């Protein structure tokens, strides 16, 4: 009887371990056309642009560092990050999955894999990863995340916690699960420790509140935003928030003198402003212009793509 009991216990332990491992390893990624990284929400294959020599050199260095010490969590993360910067998001996902197998309680791997799930339009998988990451950071001290592409001042402005909340909120937003996006962005505001993360998160929080019809709450969300903030990197989000407040005119966002900042993030903010103010034709035109730029991995592009499918599909 005791032997049977011991055998049963061993089987339970093995089965439990198998289930835990399977829960960390996602199902195979959906098939895509040859050489494509993803399929757009409109059904078009998405191909990565050829990386620069500088990007490839940094990827080679990261791979060599990983090959020399493949059990080092930091080396795995940087190998994955450099692979993604080179445009191979699917391979980066595989690298982060390896990291999760080796370090199942390291929130960083779920945070980075979730980011790349967003890139390839796997929003449900992204949400699952970010929710897991949020659980793992609960009660733990936040830490700065080093930049892979440093800003002009070479000062990192984001942290592990703020990046988890920011990207989790985005994943919910892209699925148009606005109630959950609102919940998460409010956590992101609480976690923000500098003006850069505050303006970035406030931008998405404001848009979420406006789309929910919560105009008074949206105006309150802008209270901490002012012209003299110490913004190092997220100037576009800062300017959009000032525009929402009425501190900047629309022409100051879209005019020729500011065309250099009219990237996908700024354009999407303007297009969405048209949308929740009932100017649907103008919104559609802006969203279509964003997609014409072909920067398909940018968050503004993905959001415009999602809105076109949801709001304007025939």
Q: What is the 3-state secondary structure (H, E, C) of 188-251?
A: HHHHCCCHHHHHHHHHHHHHHHHHCCCHHHHHHHCCCCCCCCCCCCCHHHHHHHHHHHCCCCHH
What average pLDDT does the segment 288-298 reach?
A: 94
Compute the mean pLDDT over every residue in the chain, rounded to the nearest whole number: 90
Please tell me the CATH superfamily of domain 51-127, with its number: Tetratricopeptide repeat domain (1.25.40.10)
Q: Distances in Å between the alpha carbon of 163 and those of 65, 96, 183, 299, 308? A: 25, 16, 15, 14, 26
Q: pLDDT tens digits for 117-156?
A: 999 999 999 999 999 999 999 999 999 998 877 777 778 8
Q: Give the model's pLDDT for residue 244.
A: 98
pLDDT for the residue numbered 23:
40
Q: What is the pLDDT of residue 1?
A: 46
Band of residue 259 on the pLDDT scale cut at 50, 70, 90: very low
Does residue 215 register a pLDDT over 90? Answer: yes
For the chain, list the strands marked E by DSSP: 38-39, 45-46
- Mean pLDDT value of segment 305-312: 97
Instruction: Choose between 219 and 148: higher pLDDT.
Output: 219
Give the number of residues written for the chain. Answer: 314
CB 225 within 8 A of CB 199: yes
Q: What is the pTM of this model?
A: 0.90
Query: How many angstroms separate the most distant Cα atoms in the chain?
Result: 83
Q: 104 to each of 50, 117, 181, 288, how far by Cα in Å? A: 33, 18, 26, 41
Into which CATH architecture does domain 155-231 fall?
Answer: Alpha Horseshoe (1.25)
What pLDDT does 20 receive? 38
> Which of 262-299 are b and which e, b meaning 16 or more Cβ less than 10 Å from the residue's Cβ?
bbbbbbbbbbbbbbbeeeeeebbebbeebbeeeebbbb
State the residue for tokens 């595989």: 94
């Amino acid at each position: 009887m005791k032997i049977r009991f011991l055998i049963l216990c061993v089987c339970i332990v093995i089965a439990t371990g198998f289930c835990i491992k399977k829960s960390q390893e996602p199902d195979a990624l959906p098939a895509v056309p040859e050489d494509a990284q993803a399929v757009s929400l409109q059904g078009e294959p998405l191909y990565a642009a050829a990386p620069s020599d500088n990007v490839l050199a940094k990827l080679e260095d990261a791979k060599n560092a990983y090959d020399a010490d493949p059990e080092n969590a930091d080396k795995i993360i940087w190998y994955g990050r450099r692979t993604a910067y080179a445009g191979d998001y699917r391979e980066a996902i595989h690298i982060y999955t390896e990291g999760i197998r080796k370090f199942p309680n390291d929130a960083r791997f779920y945070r980075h894999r979730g980011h790349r799930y967003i890139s390839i339009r796997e929003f449900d998988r992204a949400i699952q990863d970010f929710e897991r990451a949020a659980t793992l950071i609960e009660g733990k001290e936040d830490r700065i995340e080093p930049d892979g592409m440093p800003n002009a001042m070479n000062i990192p402005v984001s942290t592990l916690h703020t990046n988890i909340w920011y990207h989790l909120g985005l994943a919910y937003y892209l699925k148009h699960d606005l109630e959950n996006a609102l919940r998460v962005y409010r956590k992101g505001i609480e976690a923000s420790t500098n003006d850069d993360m505050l303006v970035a998160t406030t931008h998405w929080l404001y848009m979420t509140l406006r789309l929910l019809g919560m105009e008074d709450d949206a105006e309150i969300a802008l209270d901490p935003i002012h012209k003299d903030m110490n913004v190092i990197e997220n100037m576009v989000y800062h300017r959009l928030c000032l525009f929402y407040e009425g501190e900047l005119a629309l022409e100051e966002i879209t005019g020729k003198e500011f065309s250099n900042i009219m990237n996908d993030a700024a354009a999407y903010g303007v297009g969405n402003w048209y949308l929740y103010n009932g100017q649907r034709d103008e919104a559609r035109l802006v969203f279509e212009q964003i997609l014409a730029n072909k920067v398909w991995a940018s968050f503004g592009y993905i959001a415009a793509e999602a809105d076109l499918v949801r709001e304007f599909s025939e």
